[in-house]
Amino acid sequence: MPHQDEIDIRTKRTRKLIITAFMELLHEKTFDSIRIADITNKATINRATFYNYFTDKYQLLDTITEETLLSHFHKNLTDDDVFSPDFVKKIYLTLTDFHMNMSYICHKNHFDELSLYTSPILRTEITNTLLKAIQLKYPQEDSARLSSLAAIISWYIIGLSYEWKHSKQPSAEEFFNQFREDYERLILNFG
Tens-digit pLDDT profile for residues 26-42: 888 888 889 999 999 99
Q: How far apart, in whole angstroms, are the C-alpha atoms of residue 73 and residue 15?
A: 22
pTM greater than 0.85 (yes/no): no
Give, for 157, the enclosing helix (H) or strand (E). helix 143-167
Percentage of the residues of the chain whose pLDDT score is greater than 90:
39
C-alpha pair distances (Å), 30 with each of 15, 51, 112, 156 = 22, 21, 10, 28
Average per-residue pLDDT for the chain: 84
Alpha carbon distance 110, 115 (integer Å) = 9
Sign of CA dihedral 27, 33, 35, 38: negative
Tell me: the pLDDT tens digits for 82-132?
998 889 999 999 888 887 777 766 655 455 555 555 667 778 889 999 999
| pLDDT at residue 72 in the model | 75
- CA gap 30, 102 in Å, rounded: 13
Secondary-structure class of domain 4-54 per CATH? mainly alpha
Give residues with Cβ within 8 angstroms of 168, minimum separation 6.
Answer: none
Task: Fill in the DSSP letter of residue 106.
Answer: S
Residue among 183, 185, 2 at smallest CA distance from 91: 183
* Selection from 29, 16, 28 nearest residue 60 by Cα: 16
Contact, 89 vs 156, CB < 8 A? no
Q: Domains of the chain: which residue ranges? A: 4-54, 58-188
